[in-house]
Amino acid sequence: MAAPAYRKNGLLVVDSDTHLSEPWDLWTSRAPASIRDRVPQVKKVDGQAMWMFDDKPVGPAGAVCVVDKDMEKHYGVDYLFNMHVDEIADAASQIAPRLKLMDDQGIWAHLVYPNTVGFGGQQIGQIGDEKLRHTVVQIYNDAMAEMQAESGQRLFPMAIMPWWDRELMIKEIHRVKEIGLVGVNTVADPQEYGMPDLSEPFWAPMYDALVENGLPLNFHIGASATQQNYHGTAPWPSRNADEKLAIGSAILYMSNARILANFIYGGILERHPDLKVISVESGVGWVPFFLQALEYHYSDFLGIHPASSGSPMSLTPLEYFQRQCGSCFWFEDALLVEAVRYLGADTVMFESDFPHPTCLYPSPVERALKVFEGESQETKEKVFGGTAARLYHLPLPD
């Protein structure tokens, strides 16, 4: 019997970060009639198609996709933000075309993150009615469970959370586990919305619920109000729009360093040793340096070494990372292999970022495999799929 198309590279590949260009009717087709005009949908405002939340515009209805109907990749800000769902690659928003693309690229599974509601679901905060917010979250997660089932367990969307209410969040964690989703995606900075930051004891029941249900906690770059402005203050004013997006995007990867630092220094990983925390679309090469910096500065400022007698940290930053964390690579080249050797292949996962501007389309696996040509088969099996399958408890094909 011939091997499945997705095994053409001899590996069971999991792409650990892709995105859904949400169909415009994702919410309206599933919402009760009483709130159908209030859930996220696209309407014309002054002649421009806009996403509307509770009948308030939150942004242009661009599909955040750089691959067109003819499967050609485009470059620059204008294409990224101005093309609508009906003008982009069907694989960005529809199941069957997505599976065909995956077969063509030799990829078994995609982990899928949102666009419209924000990479961490933070855009839902623009809905003032908290009951409506909750309904919007549940409709999305139900739709993602449908997608996962209809894909034959090859598309694995990450659940978004009602992050403004801890008790609702805990209930939703249990609920998304019941409907089959394999990971949770949430905002990185709840303190921006008047809540305790994630290192406060307030969140301990949430971490316990994640551990109980075996669900990793994902932090995608751009997953809070302060992070969702991709440009920020990083580019100098003299740069053009495309250069500003490039500079801002490169700096945005490093925003996850502060999350990692606070999870380690804040004692979250110490207090919840079975919790899994994934840094998504943020790269790998910087992680060894940063973990060394955390260890050095902890000792330098506190006069005590992590994992030594009297330290509240029983492990070093590297040891916490190796025990509980994961990170994703895609375009990295020369320094990637050394980083994987330092961190361990059990912490590293391949991604393509399809269909965003930095995606490796059209040949993501072939490009990434070249970097690992001299590495063992065991290492390749882990970073290209095995680590993701283990962390997310994916149901492997026969």
Predicted local distance difference test score (pLDDT) of residue 398: 82
What percent of the chain clears pLDDT 70, i.e. is strictly above it?
97
Overall average pLDDT of the 298-317 stretch:
88
Which of 263, 381, 277 is closest to 327 using CA atoms? 277
Average pLDDT in the 29-45 region?
A: 97
Mean pLDDT of 4-12: 93
Question: For residue 106, what pLDDT is reported?
Answer: 97
Integer angstrom CA distances of residue 30 from 35, 132, 158: 10, 14, 19
Are 375 and 337 contacting, i.e. CB atoms less than 8 angstroms apart?
yes
14-19 sheet: strands from edge to edge: 14-19, 109-113, 155-157
A 10 A CB-CB count for 229 gives 12
Provide the 8-state DSSP code for 67: B
d(CA 396, CA 154): 9
* 385: DSSP letter: I
Enumerate the β-bridge partners of residue 294. Answer: none
pLDDT value of residue 81: 74
> Which one-letter DSSP state was computed for residue 176?
H
Q: For the residues 23-46, what does the mean pLDDT come to?
A: 97
Give the separation between CA 133 and CA 201, rounded to whole angstroms: 25
Listed residue (339, 248, 328, 241) closest to 19, CA to CA:
328
* 83-140 residue pLDDT tens: 888 889 999 999 999 999 999 999 999 999 999 999 999 999 999 999 999 999 999 9
Question: Does residue 59 sit within a domain?
Answer: no
- Three-state secondary-structure class, residue 266: coil
Residue 247: Cβ-neighbour burial (10 angstroms; 0-12, 13-18, 19+): middle
Q: Which residues constitute the domain of residue 109?
A: 5-22+88-391
Q: Which residues contact 361 (CB under 8 A, 6 or more apart)?
A: 67, 73, 352, 354, 355
DSSP type of residue 26: T
Tell me: pLDDT of 1 over 70.
no
CB 359 within 8 A of CB 381: no
Q: Is residue 288 part of a domain?
A: yes
Q: Residue 232's pLDDT is what?
A: 64
Predicted confidence at residue 23, as pLDDT, reads 95
Percent of the chain with pLDDT over 90: 80
User: Does residue 252 register a pLDDT over 90?
Assistant: no
Instruction: Give the model's pLDDT for residue 226.
Output: 61
**Residue 171 burial (CB count, 10 A):** 14
Q: Are 162 and 125 in contact (CB under 8 A)?
A: no
The pLDDT-based confidence of 356 (bands split at 50, 70, 90) is very high
The answer to whether position 221 is within a domain reads: yes
Give pLDDT tens digits for 311-336.
899 999 999 999 999 999 999 998 99
Q: Among residues 107, 154, 109, 151, which one has the least CA distance to residue 363? A: 107
What is the rounded CA–CA span in Å between residue 342 and residue 336?
10
CB of 249 closer than 8 Å to CB of 358: yes
Average pLDDT over residues 154-158: 98
Mean pLDDT of 150-177: 98
More confident residue, 29 or 59: 29
Within-domain flag for 62: no
Listing DSSP states for 96-133 in one string gives: HHHHHHHHHHT-SEEEEE-STT-TTSGGGGG---HHHH
* 2-19 average pLDDT score: 94
Q: What are the distances in angstroms from CA 224 to CA 186, 188, 389?
A: 9, 6, 27
CA angle 336, 286, 13 (to 5 degrees): 45
pTM attached to this predicted model: 0.95
- Work out the mean pLDDT of the chain and round it to a whole number: 93
Helix axes of 255-265 and 241-253: crossing angle, nearest 10 degrees: 20
Q: What is the CATH number of the domain that holds 159?
A: 3.20.20.140
In a domain, 387, yes or no: yes
Task: Give the model confidence (pLDDT) of 236-249 as tens digits.
Answer: 889 998 888 888 87
Count the domains in the chain. Answer: 1
Asked if residue 61 belongs to a domain, the reply is: no
397 inside domain: no
Tell whether 115 is covered by a domain.
yes
Residues in the chain: 398
What does the alpha-carbon distance between residue 219 and residue 158 come to, in Å, rounded to a whole number?
Answer: 11
Question: How confident is the model over 192-228, as pLDDT tens digits?
Answer: 999 999 999 999 999 999 999 999 999 999 886 565 5
Mean pLDDT of all residues in 355-384:
96
Whether residue 253 is predicted with pLDDT greater than 90 in this model: the reply is no
